[in-house]
Chain A
Amino acid sequence: MTTAAAEADRRAGLLDGPWPRFALRRLGRLLVSLWVLVTAAFLMIHLIPGDPVRAALGSTAPPSLVQARRELLGLNDPLWLQYLHYLRDLCAGDLGTSIISGLPVSQLIGDRLPATLQLAVLAFLVAVLVSIPLGLGMAVLTRNGRRRPAELVFTSTTGVLATVPEFLVGVGLVYVFGVRLAWVPVAGRAGPGSYVLPVLALALGPAMVLARIVRVETLAVLRADYLRTARAKRLPDRVVYLRHALPNALTATITLCGLLLGGMVAGTVLVENVFAWPGLGSTIVQSILAKDYPAVQGVVLVYGVGVLLVNLVVDVALALLDPRSTIREG
């Protein structure tokens, strides 16, 4: 009965507590960011010096074709009207039409997005699954200044690897595992083997950064009073480290996790181009080079929304992990 009462109290606490205010505030911020993103994507085409249609079709295209295409894209309307149309079409899921291929941009994105998502999500999982045990383990092993040599090796190795950008890691991996050892395919997306190198290339740097941060945060938590309390309860080491130390170390880590994941979304652009991965990253570069601005606009929007969603997920995860963060302004 007591537990049932406690359960009821807890649920009531969820509704009256800081949660609704947190949700409202966070939602408001998301909407503002989204609006800025959409407006920036819209303005992008208009900030380009010269006529984007002329640029896309080339200087040899007949003026009549350029005019027709301008008319089709609504570029002759006043700016505010174009903006309204743009918003209206967005709401209907219409991202415009590719100047080059004449296909709807949404279809292009639908074709390419899954490959990019797979890459980013897999790489993120690999990074987290490698870095958290690594950082936690190193913190426990090197706490109170123990095992200085191991600490030195860890900090210098991760420090150097963290600096190398993902496309260079990619090139190195291609050389070692593709060219020298010929273990796995180095280009395209066919079969599970083709995932290995792109995922590794994308995950390595963030994994190293995260492992360093998890270690530093865990070291700080290991000195905390409540860890002493946990040890005073004579809990098994496993419980002390996993239940008492880890969640507290992660609250500080998770914010950074979000930044890294956001960075990974962008990192896919380079990695996809190293490995000829048929995702959005190859698409955006090809579209930029071909001056296919509606396509660029659409893909930029998708990337931006991806980043905003990542940030949202991070904030919610943070709130769940550390209830105090719902009270903080931000």
Chain B
Amino acid sequence: MRARSTWRDVLRTPLGAAATVLLAAVLVLAVVAPPIWSARADAPDTGQILAGPSPAHWMGTDSLGRDILARVLVATRLSVELALAATGIGVLIGLLLGTAPLLLGARVGRLVLAAVNIAVAFPGLLLALFFAVIFGVGRTGALLAIGFAIAPGFARLTQTLTARVAGLDFAAAARIAGVGRFRLFLRHVLPNVGEPLVVNATIAAGNALLAFAGLSFLGLGVQPPGYDWGRLLGDGLGGIYVHPAAALAPGVAVVVAGLAFNLFGEALAKTIGPRGPLPAGRRRPQRPAPVPAASPPAGGETVLDVRDLRVAFPGPVTPVRGVDLTIRRGEAVGLVGESGSGKSLTALAVAQLVEEPGEVRAERLELLGTDLTAGPVRARRRLLGTSLAMVFQDPMTSFNPTMRVGRQLAEVARTHQGMNRRQALARAVDRLRAVRIPAAARRAGQFPHEFSGGMRQRAMIGMGLMGSPALVIADEPTTALDVTVQRRVLRLLADIRAADGVALLLISHDITVVGQVCDRVLVMYAGRVVEELTVAELRAGGRHPYTRALLAAVPDLTTDRHAPLAVIPGRPADPADPAPGCAFAPRCGFADERCARADPPLAVDGTGRRVACWHTERVARAADPATRPAADPADLAAADPVAGLAGPGPGPAPGPGNSDEREVRIGDQS
């Protein structure tokens, strides 16, 4: 059933349809051409020897006065037949060799594979020539030669595919159940590797056709009086000055037929693609949602000033919807929220690293008083390159694997500080030392894969310190690290901040980490800031239901390990489908129809904090155990993970209006 739909899918793409029509035409011609044109192709016309195109002979005639067009058409059958036969031989031998490890056992299999691997290293044409010598010049010899030349590649493919399938659970289960090797192969393995094998056989047929044309052209294939396209081409080439059609007509025929097979194979491969070799694509960059920022507390030199930052992608999707953010010198600001809340994208937008087709707009975007959205490009690049340091989430993939670490650091100084190679490298070693990398000089000469994860993250921080940064933006800097290493990296960030008065924007889904490092915290949900508060206030519990839910979801030592982990019910808002009203309403126990109607502004509430919620008073009341009604969903928000006092509440309450049963855990980060 799957097979039938595959064929239909092939026809549905333009490439597939064209390839199918072309291939069908070639195959039909192979069947009908000889009976129709054979007589004409073999009839000598002594009055018309080596004649050019004429109404009687559209492509002219050959040295015996035979019609070239008819000969080319008739040759279709032999050319296609030989190609298919050679492919058949190759596929059969390839299957036998490729399944040897499975059918004959490991030892014989290894020997066969070693031989196959050596043979695969040689180009097919060379193998074909070698076998052509052994099997002799002529049609049969060439047929066997090309078949044998196809075999090793096919054997390798078969072996790779079957090894993969045979290693899968169901095959192992069948083996344990006592299924014999042959049955295992026929019943369990072959059906699962069939499709890629068919695709490759189709492409191999195309190549066999071209190879046969090559051998016949050289005079090693079909011998007179027989003729295929290659033979006609070889015969025609000598007279190309007098009579080009004799060489061009069979040449065009070979190209068209070869393309038909190859394109059809490719269309087939594309249709069943996901089941074949791994796709080259990688996961899409995650698009976090936007944050509204707190108003700048008074005093202190402003390092970063962002007003109404918006990031949009075509779709249209607006994952960041109006974030205000101000960071002063030496200040540490945390940005928290679930995956997709817009926090990472906010950071990338601030750093001017959002690539097309993403679009960043802001009423104001200033670093150290310089507008990042306008002005001379060179000056902006230098400012960003030296005053802003980025630390990314995954230190394993954030270094260029083909460059030595020292050089990757030195590049910054070479580009922005005009240092020569030696000065820049010395600075790099010095910076590596500054981030406590032991034997920094030796380490600078190593490649990233020789560093441990924690060391790489420190080197990444060192890279940021090559200039004289006023702001370090660290996007989940510890998420990919071991807990013990996390602590060292956080301490390093704190020390840098203390020593040089560097401001820190720490992005994390881990509210505990943020609580340890930061002064001020912005909580983001669905592309907006929903609450801004100091760490002390965070410890006391947020005012926004989402903040409280985040806090509640953090387990600590007193958490009952037998109870299910606390979660926030429902799933994060979809930035592609923004609903009117508060984005958190579908997951919020306090939501009423006002929340569904209007999005609450980020406003100073009764206690002087900024929070975007219509119901802060009810939330505050619910958080107080004395006044809490028994069934109030605000049970969610009882914990204080920062102080490590209480456990989470008795479990999540389903948010009203949330039809989605799926629950997403905070901390289940990309």
Contact = CB atoms under 8 A, between A and B. Distances in A.
Interface in A228-251: 228-236, 239, 243-244, 247-248, 251
Contact of B402 (A7, A32, A48, A247): A247
B195 interface: no
23 contacts: A5-B441, A6-B425, A32-B118, A49-B136, A165-B254, A165-B258, A171-B233, A171-B237, A172-B248, A174-B240, A175-B244, A175-B248, A220-B281, A232-B390, A239-B415, A244-B403, A248-B401, A273-B217, A285-B218, A288-B132, A289-B219, A304-B126, A323-B447
B134 A48 contact: yes
Contact of A175 (B247, B255, B355, B463): B247
Contacts of A265: 123, 126
5 closest A-B pairs by beta carbon, nearest first, are: A234-B385, A266-B125, A266-B123, A225-B397, A9-B442
Interface residues of B, number: 81
Interface in B407-427: 408, 411-412, 415-416, 422, 425-426
Interface in B102-161: 114-115, 118, 121-126, 129-130, 132-134, 136-137
A224 B399 CA distance: 10
Contacts of B251: 168, 171-172
B392 A225 contact: yes
B398 A164 contact: no
B125 to A, nearest CB: 4
Given A32-B114, A228-B398, A269-B125, 5 more contacts: A171-B237, A235-B385, A235-B415, A288-B133, A300-B129
Interface in A130-165: 144-146, 159-160, 163-165
B218 A270 contact: yes
B574 to A, nearest CB: 21
B280 to A, nearest CB: 5
A65 interface: no
Interface string A196-234: 000000000000000000001001100111101111111
A236 to B, nearest CB: 7
A288 B137 contact: yes
Interface in A241-288: 243-244, 247-248, 251, 259, 262-263, 265-267, 269-270, 273-274, 284-285, 288
Nearest to A324: B449
A9 B445 contact: yes
Contacts of B442: 5-6, 9
Interface string B265-304: 0100000000000001110010000000000000000000
Contacts of B460: 229
A10 B233 contact: no
A259 B124 CA distance: 11
A311 B400 CA distance: 26
B220 interface: yes
B51 interface: no
Contacts of A32: 114, 118
A266 B124 contact: yes
A129 interface: no
Contacts of B137: 288-289
A224 B444 CA distance: 22
A285 B415 contact: no
B121 A308 contact: yes
Contacts of B401: 226, 248, 322, 324
Contacts of A219: 280
Contacts of B132: 288
A151 B206 CA distance: 25
A173 to B, nearest CB: 11
A19 interface: no
Given A163-B259, A163-B262, A288-B132, A226 B125 contact: no
B446 A13 contact: yes
A324 B132 CA distance: 41
Given A233-B415, A293-B133, A179 B351 contact: no
B356 A144 contact: yes
B309 interface: no
A303 interface: yes
Contacts of B426: 2-3
B381 interface: yes
A236 B115 CA distance: 49
A59 to B, nearest CB: 15
Contacts of B136: 48-49
Interface centre among A33, A165, A289, A296 (most CB of B within 10 A): A165
Given A163-B262, A172-B251, A2 B125 contact: no
Interface string A32-54: 11001000100010011100000
**Interface of B: prevailing SS:** helix
Contacts of B101: none
B519 interface: no
A163 B381 CA distance: 45
Contacts of B398: 225-226, 228-229
Given A179-B244, A235-B411, A267 B125 contact: yes
B436 interface: no
Nearest to A155: B15
A248 B403 CA distance: 10
A168 B402 CA distance: 40
B204 to A, nearest CB: 13
A145 B444 CA distance: 37
A317 interface: no
Nearest to A9: B442
A263 B123 CA distance: 5
Contacts of A163: 206, 210, 255, 258-259, 262-263
A144 to B, nearest CB: 6
Contacts of A171: 233, 237, 240, 247-248, 251
A265 B126 CA distance: 9
Given A9-B441, A285-B218, A288-B132, A239 B411 contact: yes
A103 interface: no
Contacts of B84: none
Contacts of B394: 225
Contact of B133 (A10, A233, A296, A321): A296
Contacts of B213: 165, 168
A32 B403 CA distance: 33
A40 B131 CA distance: 11
B353 A33 contact: no
Given A144-B357, A267-B125, A243 B255 contact: no
A228 B392 contact: yes
A234 B258 CA distance: 48
B542 interface: no
A167 interface: yes
Contacts of A232: 351, 353, 390, 392
B382 interface: yes
A66 interface: no
Nearest to A284: B129
Given A13-B445, A220-B282, A293-B133, A322 B402 contact: yes
Contacts of A307: 121-123, 126
Interface in B368-388: 381-382, 384-385
A262 B133 contact: no
B248 A160 contact: no
Contacts of A263: 123-125
B570 interface: no
Contacts of A48: 133-134, 136
Contacts of B403: 243-244, 247
Nearest to A222: B355
Contacts of B429: 2-3, 6
Contacts of B134: 44, 47-48
A116 B582 CA distance: 74
Contacts of B453: none
Contacts of B281: 220
Contacts of A146: 356-357
